[in-house]
Structure 1
């Protein structure tokens, strides 16, 4: 295994986690990819498998206000002039512990002019006979309250058929309408009667999705689950807890010559896009406080 990469295994599952971005690079069940992998070494394409923190999704123009103070973080999505997926992905994570079936990594987010807060992040990946279980813990090690949000960024693979032929079920009653050019929030709408209504499983078809969903249906145990299935009979599911009331889904549409619709990005989020400005479901992490979010990926 390459330096800074950690292979874990349990039952019929195997995964590779990398210190780069604390990312999930591979996840396989019986040798079949459950996520779109990325190569060892070099850049991580399309944020595959990263931990997006201290905010998920985007902040327009990189500008936000917190506790009546204006801040500006670097824009890393120039085509939409947004700050995308925080900056923990640019950090090399440190190995904290490892055994045959689990690995734990951590990183420290030092204060910057645009985010003058101190956070210590830990991600634990654990395989079992039921799949991969991930948990991110954020601790505020500074002296001021910090705005915070997090999400994973895997691209799920149902099987070998084209994504258009996959059957998708999303347990969400509403979605966030966004502007077509910059994908900035407009209003929350019901999925009823809309092409984004996947509450009952159906084929994705030509539908293009890059939207956040909410009004998530959690079961009595506080768990929600998305599934996507290939017509050949294979599938993959993702489950998460109430720490993530939002879910970004993206059909990974690209303009030629880039390969398009390679997988389905599924991102349980603690808050919606631009929560650093709207404040909606934004985590206010007080000094000394911690926050946890958890999710799982499994063959379905």
Structure 2
């Protein structure tokens, strides 16, 4: 476990882990709004940075610029390479203040992903919550494939399954389509409309019920600031994740495959630049020319629902 940086602003407090540049904790009014982790490290990629690809790659195999590469398969259940290569690396601290921290990783590449990059992430707290900005710069001498995601699990203070059973849990996802997947969670065909189906969470106040989600949403609706949203609400407060225009995908995971007390206790809301298997399919894959930089931002906030 590396150094943990604590940030404060208004009613929010965050802890940022130098190991992986992960979001170890985020509280609002002294209550957790993301599933926190401690000195034993994260489980199920909670709070992690997913780069240089989010989600999974089938058998860890992909081709880029005419060359085949093989990544280590680290999800034996699906036979895939999952969630990138930077979540277990020590990042350097570039700057820290009371309400912000900037971390950098000089990624040299690996045999399965031989594309060096500089990654810079800034966490900033304000009265309206957390904003995370990310930059990825190709420091190599050839084009590089790239995808990015983040993996916060939202919590409302008790297991979401208990809230759902009482009819006290609603979900809003501002997306018009979802990506069907096979039993290994790899895409099958193209996105399909959510219109009126079990995965249509566009109307505010939609009950989660017993719907199982490990679902990538796309064709995102955006507000006037260009943000797409996932909003999870209980009877007293709401926790929300937004992604800027650089994120065309939102993965929502209802924690059904987690065991014990974690089973269906949290809701992961993951902004992603591309869907599963994008290194192999090229779907929404970013290609960085030498020296080029990709920029991204997402945030987490909370609000009181009891105020008139």
TM-score range, shorter chain: over 0.9
Aligned length: 296
C-alpha distance in structure 2 between counterparts of 1:152 and 1:93, whole Å: 16
Map of 2:306 onto structure 1: none
Q: Does 1:199 align with 2:187?
A: no
- Going from structure 1 to structure 2, the CA distance change for 1:258 and 1:76 (only over 3 Å counts) comes to farther
Q: Distance in 2 between matches of 1:170 and 1:265?
A: 12
Offset, 1:44: 1.4
Counting only pairs closer than 5 Å after superposition, residues 72-83 of structure 1 correspond to structure 2 as 72-83=70-81
1:153 aligned partner: 151
Residues 53 and 88 in structure 1, CA contact (< 8 A), matched pair in contact too: yes
TM-score when scaled to structure 2? 0.93
| 1:287 alignment partner in structure 2 | 290
Normalised by the size of structure 1, how large is the TM-score? Answer: 0.95
Quote the Cα distance in structure 2 between the aligned partners of 1:264 and 1:94.
Answer: 30
* Equivalent residue, structure 1, for 2:222: 218
Q: Distance in 2 between matches of 1:249 and 1:154?
A: 10
Partner of 1:272: 275
1:120 paired residue among 108, 118, 125: 118
Q: CA deviation at 1:129?
A: 0.4
**Structure 1 residue 173 displacement after superposition:** 0.5
Structure 2 residue aligned with 1:241, among 234, 240, 244? 244
Q: CA RMSD in A?
A: 1.4
SS at match of 2:44: helix
Unaligned runs of 5+ in 2: 304-308
Alignment pair present for 1:263 and 2:262: no
Q: Deviations over 1:74-100 (max 9, x none)?
A: 011011110000011021111110000
Q: Distance in 1 between the 2:258 and 2:104 partners?
A: 35
Aligned residue in 2 for 1:173 = 176
Shift of 1:43: 3.3
- Residue 220 (structure 1) shift: 3.1
What is the deviation of 1:111?
Answer: 2.3
1:160 is displaced (CA, Å) by 2.8
Segments of structure 1 that go 5 or more residues without pairing to the other structure are none
